Amino acid sequence: MRIAYVDGPRLRRSLVAACDHAQRARKELNRINVFPVPDGDTGTNLALTVQAISDQLRHNGDAEVGAVAVEAARASVLGARGNCGMMLSHFMLGFADRIRGRARIAPADLAVALEGGVAHVQDALETPVEGTMLTVMRDTAAAAESPADSDFEPFLERLLEAARSSLARTPELLPVLKKAGVVDAGAKGFVSLLEGVVALVRGDPSVPVVESDDLGPVAAAAIDFDQEGETYRYCTEALVRGPDLPDSAEVRAHLSPFGDSIIVIRTEAMLKLHIHTDEPGGVFDYLRRHGELSAHKAEDMRAQHAAVERAASGHVRLARRPVTIVTDSAADLPSDVIRAHGIHVVPLLLMTEGKALRDRVDVDAEEFARRMDQGVELPTTSQPPPGAFLEAYERAAEEGESVVVVALGSALSGTHGSAEAAAQMFEGANIHVFDSKAASSLQALLALKAAELAELALPPDEILRELARVRTRSGVLFTVDRFDRLRASGRVGLGRAWVAGALGVKPILGLTDDGRVVPFGKAFGRTRVIRRVLDIVAASVPVGATTIRFALAHVLAPEKMDLVRRGIRERFGNVEVLVSPATPVVATHTGVGAWALAYMVED
């Protein structure tokens, strides 16, 4: 059947098919990854970037092709990881700019959009390198110029052929690839995206991933880590939000003394940065001066390369980082943080009308909270079965030699038991389950801490010891605006709830060191409860503590969070404060207007 135009639904289906195919190529891309740093994570970075695109588009219903392209570009920025993810995001931004406002496009319009994508990437790179994703993007766009086709199917077939030919030439353009006997991993990732689109058009979306055994060894590609050429140690990324962010050129100019491989994406009220540096703290401090640092990470590239060397010397096909992190959806982690660190999240379950809905997968936090506010009958909650953890372990073990699980407190749920049961059954990696003795924003801080320690290549035993240490110096408090959900859970009787509500009493509850819920105090009115919570936290923080992190979770209460965050910084300085909507499983037990404050003392 002839395809004369692409509208919003067709582009959406094409991009989802492209992203799904690229995710299946993850292991192969990791195996052949040697440039710009042989860290074995290009496939993981690309997979996480395109997953953000496909996740967003699956909830998109725009009819116009331009609107779908803009939505995909925005999602790509939020999900961008590594050089390949940042370059793909720039490509998507340029692509979207050329067809913004269009209802549908023909092949000639697609050619213009591809050229716009390439131009956006080239403008973003200070020192473009041939033989990389950029080369294949440019050659693909060149093949699209002056299309004679009015039918998309032969046009796309021709583009894929050009992309594959360009990919095959990458070892001739980049000596490090030729030495390792592989093609460029990022470029191959771009080709895999095109393969997914063409497969959809052909009616065969389940195209197998082609491995590069003709271009590389059976084991992970081995290459010397040039410690003199690769001056810097930490692959550092950050996402900043704010109304007055500097432009890309200003950021690059300021940070160029800090490192290299700088890629900056600047859109409206958001800035995404990638840099190789020895001073990630200095980079983060600079960014904090311009906005709210929503997510950041600093990964030890030497540790990553050591993992690649172990895989190559052992003739193992898949190079894996030392440790990956799994948690469950009771941890109120912001989506930006989950994406930035590649944390695997096992969804708890909400049971309604005989159906099991997966928390944060089938049920969106903010939409769920709005339904609560409208008085819709709420579901009951349930722990994940061991099978759900097994699936997460399988994915995590593809990326890490060991897996650390930061589980919902065992005194609060059987989730920890499910995680342990699955760990005993799993054989693909060593699984280490940590009982967080926490939930919500405190569990989130512990999961984030685990991810940061893993990125510094600490072994699992050391990560577990550090988590246990900081848990004893951490706490979480929460309060509710209404008593209906606490009463429904059986924690507060009808009479006490009515009296407290009539008097405007706001209870302050929290978790003990062993993870039990106990009362910490009360206050009259919404403003006083904020001050009282901050007073309790200030009294709980050890004297002389200098490194303190905070996290907030809320149920439809963003304005309160602005006040709480301001109060935290008035008392503790310009500290890091994560803010996230409470996950549906947490929200259903606390109700609209509830919020939690967690703190973690790291020194």
* Residue 287 and residue 180 in one domain: no
* Residue 458 and residue 487 in one domain: no
pLDDT the model gives residue 196: 96
Reply yes or no on whether the pLDDT at 554 is more than 50. yes
CB 416 within 8 A of CB 330: no
- As a residue count, the chain comes to 603
Average pLDDT, the chain: 88
Average pLDDT estimate for 439-446: 97
Reply yes or no on whether the pLDDT at 227 is more than 70. no
pLDDT band for 531, please (50, 70, 90 cuts). very high
* Residue 481 and residue 461 in one domain: no
361-385 burial, b at 16+ Cβ within 10 Å, e below that, comes to eebebeebbebbeeeeebbebbbbe
Domain that holds residue 545: 474-601
Reply yes or no on whether the pLDDT at 551 is more than 90. yes
Residue after which a domain boundary falls, among 276, 305, 334:
305
Residue 107 lies in a domain: yes
Residue 216 lies in a domain: no
Q: Structurally, how many domains does the chain consist of?
A: 4
Containing 549, the helix (H) or strand (E) segment is strand 548-554
Residue 313 lies in a domain: no
Alpha-carbon distance of 12 to 80, in angstroms, equals 19
pLDDT the model gives residue 404: 98
Residue 208 lies in a domain: no
CB 585 within 8 A of CB 379: no
Residue 311 lies in a domain: no
pLDDT band for 208, please (50, 70, 90 cuts). low
User: Could you read off the pLDDT of 7-26 as tens digits, one per residue?
Assistant: 999 999 999 999 999 999 99
Which has the higher per-residue pLDDT, 211 or 459? 459
Q: CATH number for the domain including 332?
A: 3.40.50.10170
Q: CATH number for the domain including 564?
A: 3.30.1180.10
pTM (2 d.p.): 0.85
Reply yes or no on whether the pLDDT at 42 is more than 70. yes
Residue 225 lies in a domain: no
| Greatest CA separation for the chain | 78
CB 342 within 8 A of CB 44: yes
* Residue 282 and residue 267 in one domain: yes
Average pLDDT estimate for 549-562: 94
pLDDT band for 540, please (50, 70, 90 cuts). very high
Residue 573 lies in a domain: yes
Residue after which a domain boundary falls, among 178, 202, 226:
202
User: Could you read off the pLDDT of 473-528 as tens digits, one per residue?
Assistant: 999 999 988 756 555 554 444 334 333 444 467 889 999 999 999 999 989 887 89
* Residue 331 and residue 297 in one domain: no
Q: CATH number for the domain including 154?
A: 1.25.40.340
* Residue 64 and residue 188 in one domain: yes
Measured torsion, CA atoms of residues 278, 545, 530, 500, in degrees rounded to the nearest 10: 130
* Residue 439 and residue 508 in one domain: no
User: Could you read off the pLDDT of 80-111 as tens digits, one per residue?
Assistant: 999 999 999 999 999 999 999 999 999 999 99
CB 223 within 8 A of CB 176: yes
User: Could you read off the pLDDT of 274-325 as tens digits, one per residue?
Assistant: 999 999 999 999 999 999 999 999 998 887 667 656 655 554 545 578 899 9
pLDDT the model gives residue 239: 95
Q: How far is CA 67 from CA 5, 62, 92, 115, in A?
A: 15, 6, 13, 19
User: Could you read off the pLDDT of 393-432 as tens digits, one per residue?
Assistant: 999 998 889 999 999 999 999 999 999 999 999 998 999 9
The angle at the Cα of 83, spanning 458 to 339, to the nearest 5 degrees, equals 60
* Residue 43 and residue 156 in one domain: yes
Residue after which a domain boundary falls, among 202, 224, 256:
202
Q: Return the number of other C-beta atoms located less than 10 Å from residue 468's C-beta.
A: 13
* Residue 368 and residue 437 in one domain: yes
* Residue 575 and residue 484 in one domain: yes
pLDDT the model gives residue 278: 95
pLDDT band for 354, please (50, 70, 90 cuts). confident
Residue 59 lies in a domain: yes
Average pLDDT estimate for 226-254: 85
* Residue 42 and residue 160 in one domain: yes
* Residue 329 and residue 464 in one domain: yes
pLDDT the model gives residue 441: 97
